[in-house]
A and B are shown apart, each in its own frame.
Chain A
């Protein structure tokens, strides 16, 4: 009985899974250290920030919206939290509360504007991105924060072990936050009323309203959650790069959108899965890592990433295209 609900969604994930498997096989054959624990941990660390954001954006996309402002929100959250930490000696609890609180409030603002303005969410969030980012750079004058509190710089590693050669392996803050983010997103989407309402809203907004799901409230929650996730992810990012720069994150929004969409989340709303998002993310990360291992100059990374995205969206469009040609107007 369990296979039922998955019908109609398997192809995208299956297809992605096969491509990834092929890449892994080829890379392992060419560079045996590709599958080393060290390399895998490094890939996870490097992709954590984008991955956490994908887990939030996935929910926004399923609800039929899009958010472009999360990178600006994350920049504000990390800057504020670590400025406070440096000035007052606040600890983990406080900075998590500050970053999460700022993210949540800005997200709620997005949700409120999307619900009331009656214009596309992409336009609304481009505008809020401009406002948030503009104010952040004006207030901070674009200055980086160079010194971070030592307890923050040390991070929170779990399961620290070392092998015979003295290499240290640890599940870092980045990795457990990434895993947690996807677990929470999966739980919210599949096991809570909120998640089913998000799917319903994305599938047929008018019907969701008629059934009595408070769509305004739902939008507030969806964008609020995205903001919260962005706020918390910003700390993970700051801890990874060991610095805070107000200009470092903005401009990377579309990378996150691309990963979510590669995983099969439709921009029209109503479809998408956590597994797909993870696979979409994995595809990009493994490709970048593989290129580096194969000794391809890092100057060409973007080119290959673009090639993968273009190929993927062209293949994905195949089914829709066949419908368009074979039964124009009948579908």
Chain B
């Protein structure tokens, strides 16, 4: 039974689930049931999607063995592009025309993001720039473009349909959460059920071997970074709708936190491994901590410290276990097992 559970959920997720249970137990006497009261749940449901969508975007790049530091800048530029279209609409447009304009605005945002992804993908895939360097450059470039065009100012006041994306609800489910769920589900299917998803993970482990197997890794990387950028754009739309404004510098503090959330969720920072489910769990854990901190009247920054601390603690536990494993194996297994030979071989240069 534990083996089955392990296989379906994965080791990291199991660890996260345990962490989650532990947190709830610890939080219960402190905060009582306020954490899971409707108000608490609702506020979580509106907050989680922003970081969640950005983390999903980061996850795609991480899986391919890369990194995308330009996601926040891209999200903001996409929101600004959408805002520009909305602002350019004639006064008093309504009905079908307004809907068309709004759809056009979102499409313009997505197209802008896709263009950034195209640039990132060209740099990483075709010009073979290391992903950190490439996206460090485009992050500055894209943010610079947004600042240059807006002079750093805020664009605000959008039609109600757009605001609905940020604060509305469908059947009691908040729109941002619904959007996050849809994107997460879509990515999950894309990553596990399509050739592209398989290739993405395999590239993350060994790009050369994938290339020698007749896969166009350059085109696959191009698609990877375009996908990353477009997921980031959806985060930009949610932020724009929630704040009823768009700006070049929204959400910048999320950048490193998205990496933190991904690694905590079991996405390998060196690429190749990770599941959407793990990331969603890690986001829930982080959000619970954040909400608990608010309810306990802690500073929001303490939340950040706790998040970082949890990542370090989880890694530390892993490192200690790895250190102890050979010792435990010696203690536990006095009988020679032929199957164990492979672990010895894998450790050092084989003889």
Contact = CB atoms under 8 A, between A and B. Distances in A.
A302 B133 contact: no
Contacts of B299: 137-138, 141
A87 interface: no
Interface stretch (A78-86, A116-124, A193-201): A116-124
A126 B312 CA distance: 10
A124 B136 contact: no
Contacts of B148: 297, 299-300, 302-303
A324 B259 CA distance: 29
A306 B269 contact: no
A177 interface: no
A138 B144 contact: no
A321 interface: yes
Q: Most A CB atoms within 10 A — which of B144, B259, B319?
A: B144
Interface string A142-157: 1000000000000000
A127 B319 contact: no
Given A258-B136, A310-B141, A320-B128, A130 B256 contact: yes
A218 interface: no
B315 A117 contact: yes
Given A126-B259, A129-B256, A251-B253, A117 B312 contact: yes
A305 B136 CA distance: 11
B308 A310 contact: no
A135 interface: yes
A307 interface: yes
Contact of B140 (A117, A136, A137, A305): A305
B316 A117 contact: yes
Interface residue tally on B, bucketed by range = 35 or more
Contacts of B315: 117-119, 123-124, 127
Contacts of A305: 140, 144
B23 interface: no
Contacts of B152: 299
Interface in A297-326: 297, 299-307, 309-310, 312-314, 316-318, 320-321, 324
Contacts of A261: 133, 136
A267 B136 CA distance: 13
B129 A314 contact: yes
B139 to A, nearest CB: 7
Given A134-B302, A138-B298, A251-B253, A306 B144 contact: yes
Interface in B126-172: 127-130, 132-134, 136-145, 147-148, 151-152
B136 A138 contact: no
A254 B303 contact: no
B294 interface: no
Interface of chain A: mostly helix, strand, loop or mixed: helix
Contacts of B198: none
A137 B300 CA distance: 9
A136 B132 CA distance: 28
A11 B37 CA distance: 63
Q: Is the interface of B mostly helix, strand, loop or mixed?
A: helix
B305 interface: yes
Given A127-B312, A134-B304, A134-B308, A309 B128 contact: no
A301 B144 contact: yes
B141 A306 contact: yes
Contact of A302 (B147, B260, B309): B147
A218 to B, nearest CB: 19
Contact of B128 (A118, A122, A251, A321): A321
A329 interface: yes
Interface string A251-283: 100100110010000010000000000000000
B215 interface: no
A120 B270 contact: yes
B140 A309 contact: yes
Nearest to A66: B132
Interface string A102-129: 0000000000010011111011101111
Given A136-B301, A310-B141, A313-B133, 9 more contacts: A116-B316, A130-B257, A131-B312, A261-B133, A300-B147, A300-B148, A306-B138, A328-B212, A329-B208
Q: Which 10 A-B pairs have the closest CB atoms?
A: A134-B305, A306-B141, A303-B144, A130-B308, A302-B144, A306-B140, A137-B301, A309-B137, A134-B304, A310-B137
Interface of A: 68, 113, 116-120, 122-124, 126-138, 141-142, 251, 254, 257-258, 261, 267, 297, 299-307, 309-310, 312-314, 316-318, 320-321, 324, 328-329
Interface of B: 69, 119, 123, 127-130, 132-134, 136-145, 147-148, 151-152, 208, 211-212, 252-253, 256-257, 259-260, 263, 269-270, 298-299, 301-309, 311-312, 315-316, 318-319, 322
26 contacts: A117-B319, A119-B263, A120-B270, A123-B263, A124-B315, A127-B309, A127-B311, A128-B312, A130-B304, A135-B301, A137-B301, A137-B304, A138-B305, A251-B253, A258-B137, A299-B147, A303-B145, A306-B137, A306-B140, A309-B140, A309-B141, A310-B134, A313-B134, A317-B128, A321-B127, A324-B128
